[in-house]
Amino acid sequence: MADDWHVLIEEDTRETRRAEGAELKLHRWTLVATHPVEGGQERALAVAEDAALHYLPAVLARHARSGDVPARRAFLTPDGSWLVWVGQRHRECHLRVTAARLVHVREESVAPPKSLKEKLRTALDGPEPFPAPWKPRS
């Protein structure tokens, strides 16, 4: 994992909600793709640039016709990530493409199921306390 590089593609997803007569447009970045890249950081940066210039979001691909080429503006930020605006007809999407090195992986672990005795004890004593919140080491 010392030189495990990936290209991450995030899309700005918008959800419209209505509350008390007001319309709220909620935006959030959603990770839509991770692509492992062999060849180190330079290769990952080249693949990220290619993705920024050619990746087509599903929302546009669904409505594209044969021969359609969407408008695209790609910006390279000082930190090396790409911010991309893609538009076609009345639809538009925003992307963030980044080359990133994988530095930590932890698999999920599930606690064993409680016995009947433990369930009864929890019902009488109340739930177990939550783990202490994270604090920086002093």
Read off the pLDDT of residues 10-51 as tens digits, 9 standing for 90 and up.
998 878 888 888 888 888 888 999 999 998 899 999 999 999
pTM of the model: 0.74
CA distances from 41 to 56, 64, 77, 99 (A): 24, 33, 17, 8
Percent of the chain with pLDDT over 90: 37
- Whose CA is closest to 32, among 53, 50, 10, 7? 10
The pLDDT of residue 15 is 80
